Structure 1
Amino acid sequence: MSRLLTSSIGLVLATSLVACGQSEPIEAPAEATTPASPVAFELETVATGFSFPWGIAFLPEGGFLVSERDGELSYVAPGSEEGVDITGLPDVYVAGQGGVFDVVLDPAFEDNRFIYLSYAKGSAAANSTAIYRARLSEDMTALEEGEDVFVAESLRATPAHFGGRMTFLPDGTLVLTLGEGFRYMAEAQNPQSDLGTVVRINSDGTIPADNPFADGAEGLPHVWSYGHRNVQGVVFDEATDTLYTVEHGPMGGDEINVDIAGANYGWPEVTYGVNYDGSIITTQTEAEGMESPMLYWVPSIAPGGMEVYTGDVYPDWQGDLFVAALAGMKVQRVDMDGSELVGQEALFDDFGSRFRQIAQGPDGYLYLLSDEYNGSVYRIVIAD
């Protein structure tokens, strides 16, 4: 049985990021929900034919990019219903959960045309997650002047739990999530390893001076937070100055966390989940010095990407969090009142698709990516 936890943690952004303190979590009723939306919604197909689409980036001139886990990046022109392959990608390790992950635009894309791809780098014997920065050609056909600006230091010999989700913060720094490689869960408690972490870098790969371990004495300089299992979604809510992450638990115990500089999120010392064979990982669900989740799910929904809605198309949803669910095969709306959690609503749980990512487009609509070989991009519209 799941419970909801609320917290008043946030990030204060001035010239640099400063972590705020945490209040005591408040327990809400088990299975708390929010009333169903008074308006009916449906999914409209925008484009299709993608091989396990993972990320989407909307271009200022119209159209969008779609990253595909099987090692591709596609451009979808305005009005088109299919993508065109872009050349110039790095050498990607495509195996298991590995491949091309997220794609984001530089905040100054209109001036420099930089895009950032997170991807699995290496081999079966030694791999990690990297960020590749390149310029998108004016004709949208190629990546040019590409280079890795970040490569995770801690190597693994598993094709699983890469993390890979990215977002830019208002100060121009770039956040990347990193999984713990599945077999290396204990490393998530070691800030001198980047397995099971959230990292923060400058766009050129250098380290922000105000990172919590910037001097390297107590943790890797690029580590922002640690104690994570496999963070698959990250979003910054400018209205509340809050960085949210969502991560996979084992069997049960998926979490939404308010992600604070230098904080330890407990995995595997604390969890609401158990091993896939039912055996106990730990009896602890909380511990001194470890952050508790804002919300967790038992059973798991296998969260993908997440978004905070700021548009005008769905006024009742403004400020709410949205989580794409893989095993849950739905979109989970997390009803928020500022930084306080109100309840939840399941959307499109009868559609029959695994959802990898949800993102707000420049038109104010929410877009979904389906996690399948012939995957699609959908737009959430008001039903007739």
Structure 2
Amino acid sequence: MKQKIYLLSFSLFFCGLSLLSQKKEYEIVVPDLVNPWGFTFLPDNSMLITEKEGKLIHFKHGRKINIGNLPEIYVRGQGGFMDVELHPNYSQNGWIYFTYASQGGKGNGGNTTLMRAKLKENQLVEKEVLYKASPNSKRGQHFGSRIAFDKENRVYFSVGDRGNRELNPQDITRDGGKIYRLNDDGSVPINNPFVNQKNAKKAIFSFGHRNPQGMEMNPFTNEIWAHEHGPQGGDEINIIKKGENYGWPKASYGINYSGTKFTDKTSIPGMKSPIHHWTPSIAPSGMAFISSDKYGKWKGNLLVGSLKFQYVSRCILKGNTVFKEVKLLKDIGRVRSIEQGLDGFMYVGVENLGIVKILPN
């Protein structure tokens, strides 16, 4: 009898261990989204969510409300309705910032645009285009685009090289392959790096980028961090510095999709090298620092989404070095966007699933 009780207890113990090991990693907060390219939290903890196909959703009290009076959005390839961020003083001024592809301006096709607007009775009002990259192109790749603010409330946004690596990224007289910095009203800061250079695009803050789809201010250092897609290999994390050249396509850890090389250099003197790279590519999209205490020792880690391998990489940092990576939410789907909520929890936008909350383990 004692032996049977011992075996039963032993069995229950391992059953408990098994249940613990199967503890849920996440819960779905906003279901049934196609491509939640960007999202942000309003002061009442409701959410604004962009769908790449050209929708803006206000998710509140479990309901999805489609916001009206959107700008005309050019949906092609990787382009559409992209990021959304609130002004740091949103509670006082009500400004919301968006990036999207539009057909306005010179040339056929579209290019990335930064707009700000306010929300009133489920409509966008007081819309202001702050920047429109040019010329337009019918190419469907590399629109960027993420938005971040610094401590001085200046707005940064990224525009990919639009599939034209030969002309755009290394030329500061052309848009594309750049990270830009503006004052919050769209004016150019007087200390931007190229304001006094003839024919330069005055809003450029850094150049030599391929397609940055993750950008965030590091809350511990107040520096702007960004990641970008490489080609076949060579996805990068960079710390964005004023006026610096990040090398694309002169230096890269990647190769052409055909398997051929386009450069034999991974670094070049005078150009900034990445602090971390992924080869093979993970196709990174979305990033956020964990600055809350909700996840214990994870505080200070950086989360990066993988479109290709469908997980979230928890990057453990030592200073400005990625010391180790741990995969979260394996096989959840194509991870498009990541944000820390007002409640301190981390939220992840997943294509063809929705927005999920990572549960503390």
Whether TM exceeds 0.5 here: the answer is yes
Within 5 Å, which residues of 2 pair with 1:196-207? 196-207=177-188
Contact preservation (8 Å) 1:75, 1:84? yes
Question: In the aligned structure 2, how far is the partner of 1:334 from the partner of 1:39?
Answer: 23
SS of alignment partner, residue 382 of structure 1: coil
SS of alignment partner, residue 187 of structure 1: coil
Within 5 Å, which residues of 2 pair with 1:77-226? 77-78=60-61, 80=62, 82-122=63-103, 125-137=108-120, 139=121, 141-217=122-198, 219-226=200-207
Matched, 1:69 2:52: yes
Question: In the aligned structure 1, how far is the partner of 2:230 from the partner of 2:24?
Answer: 29
Name the counterpart of 1:306: 287
Matched, 1:344 2:344: no
Q: Given the alignment, which residue of 327, 351, 355 partners 1:371?
A: 351
Amino acid at match of 1:305: G
Question: In the aligned structure 2, how far is the partner of 1:332 from the partner of 1:185?
Answer: 31
User: Please, which runs of 5 or more residues in structure 1 have no aligned partner?
Assistant: 1-37
Residues 1:241 and 1:109: Cα distance change in structure 2 (over 3 Å): closer
- Residue by residue over 1:267-313, the C-alpha shift from the partner in whole angstroms, topping out at 9 and shown as x without a partner, is 11111111111111111111111111100011100000111110111
Normalized against structure 1, the TM-score is what? 0.85
SS of alignment partner, residue 111 of structure 1: helix
Residues 1:340 and 1:249: Cα distance change in structure 2 (over 3 Å): closer
Contact preservation (8 Å) 1:245, 1:257? yes
Name the counterpart of 2:252: 271
Within 5 Å, which residues of 2 pair with 1:321-336? 321-336=302-317
Let me know the Cα RMSD of the aligned residues. Answer: 1.8
Normalized against structure 2, the TM-score is what? 0.90
Question: In the aligned structure 1, how far is the partner of 2:103 from the partner of 2:91?
Answer: 32
Shift of 1:382: 2.9
Amino acid at match of 1:66: I
Shift of 1:56: 0.7
SS of alignment partner, residue 167 of structure 2: helix
Amino acid at match of 2:32: G
User: Higher helix proportion, which one?
Assistant: 2
Shift of 1:181: 0.7
User: Please, which runs of 5 or more residues in structure 2 have no aligned partner?
Assistant: 1-20
Residues 1:142 and 1:261: Cα distance change in structure 2 (over 3 Å): same
Contact preservation (8 Å) 2:165, 2:210? no
Matched, 1:260 2:241: yes
Question: In the aligned structure 2, how far is the partner of 1:156 from the partner of 1:261?
Answer: 28
Name the counterpart of 1:355: 335
Question: In the aligned structure 1, how far is the partner of 2:177 from the partner of 2:250?
Answer: 13
- Residue by residue over 1:179-230, the C-alpha shift from the partner in whole angstroms, topping out at 9 and shown as x without a partner, is 0011344321111112100000111111011111122337321000000000
Who wins on radius of gyration, i.e. which is larger? Answer: 2
Shift of 1:238: 2.8
Name the counterpart of 2:275: 294
Question: In the aligned structure 2, how far is the partner of 1:339 from the partner of 1:218?
Answer: 34
Question: In the aligned structure 2, how far is the partner of 1:349 from the partner of 1:332?
Answer: 9
Question: In the aligned structure 2, how far is the partner of 1:173 from the partner of 1:203?
Answer: 5
Contact preservation (8 Å) 1:49, 1:83? no
- Residue by residue over 1:46-95, the C-alpha shift from the partner in whole angstroms, topping out at 9 and shown as x without a partner, is 012223110111000221100110000000003x1x42100011011011
Contact preservation (8 Å) 1:240, 1:339? no
Moved more, 103-112 or 115-124: 115-124
Residues 1:319 and 1:382: Cα distance change in structure 2 (over 3 Å): closer
Residues 1:121 and 1:301: Cα distance change in structure 2 (over 3 Å): same
Matched, 1:55 2:38: yes
Name the counterpart of 1:232: 213
Question: In the aligned structure 2, how far is the partner of 1:212 from the partner of 1:71?
Answer: 34
Matched positions, count:
339
Question: In the aligned structure 2, how far is the partner of 1:39 from the partner of 1:316?
Answer: 21
Shift of 1:126: 3.3
Name the counterpart of 1:42: 25
Question: In the aligned structure 2, how far is the partner of 1:170 from the partner of 1:119?
Answer: 24
Moved more, 108-117 or 250-259: 108-117
